[in-house]
Amino acid sequence: MCALKQPSEDFLSMKAKMRTTPYHFNLLSDTERLSAFLEAIKQKAKGTVYDIGAGCGILSILAVPYSNFIYAVEKDSRSAKLAESNFKEFNNILLINDDARNVIFEDKADLIICEMLDTALIDEEQVPVVNSILKYLKDDGEIIPQGILNGAEAIYVDRDSICYDDEFESSRINYQILSNLVIYSEFNFKNLIEEYVETEFELEICKKGTFSGIKITTFTLLTNYIICGPTPMLNPPLLIPTGKMNVNIGDIIKVKLSYKMGGGLDSIQTRVKKIS
Q: Does 115 bind ligand SAM (CB under 6 A)?
A: yes
Specify the stretch interacting with ligand SAM by CB under 6 A; choose among 72-80, 156-164, 239-247, 251-259. Answer: 72-80
Q: Which of residues 153-212 bind ligand SAM (CB under 6 A)?
A: none
Q: Does 222 bind ligand SAM (CB under 6 A)?
A: no
Q: Does 263 bind ligand SAM (CB under 6 A)?
A: no
The dihedrals phi and psi of 140, each to the nearest 5 degrees, come to: -100, 15
Nearest-CA neighbor of 250 among 216, 201, 208?
Answer: 208
Q: Does 123 bind ligand SAM (CB under 6 A)?
A: no
Q: Does 41 bind ligand SAM (CB under 6 A)?
A: no
Q: How many CA atoms lie within 13 A of 231 on its CB side?
A: 22
CB 63 to ligand SAM: min, Å: 11
| Nearer CB in complex with ligand SAM: 252/265 | 265
d(CA 210, CA 242): 12
* Cα-Cα end-to-end distance for the chain: 35
**Residue 83: strand, helix, or coil:** helix
CB 11 to ligand SAM: min, Å: 14
Nearest-CA neighbor of 241 among 186, 181, 182, 165?
Answer: 165
Q: Does 116 bind ligand SAM (CB under 6 A)?
A: yes
Q: Does 79 bind ligand SAM (CB under 6 A)?
A: yes
| Nearer CB in complex with ligand SAM: 82/214 | 82
d(CA 110, CA 55): 21
Q: Does 151 bind ligand SAM (CB under 6 A)?
A: no
Q: Does 262 bind ligand SAM (CB under 6 A)?
A: no
DSSP-assigned letters across all residues of 22-39: HHHHHHHH-HHHHHHHHH
List Cα–Cα distances, 226 to 40, 97, 146, in angstroms. 7, 30, 10
Q: Rule CB under 6 A: choose which of 53, 145, 147, 237 binds ligand SAM.
A: 53
CB 190 to ligand SAM: min, Å: 19
The dihedrals phi and psi of 21, each to the nearest 5 degrees, come to: -80, 165
Residues that bind ligand SAM (CB under 6 A): 24, 27, 53-55, 58-59, 73-76, 79, 99-101, 115-116, 125, 129
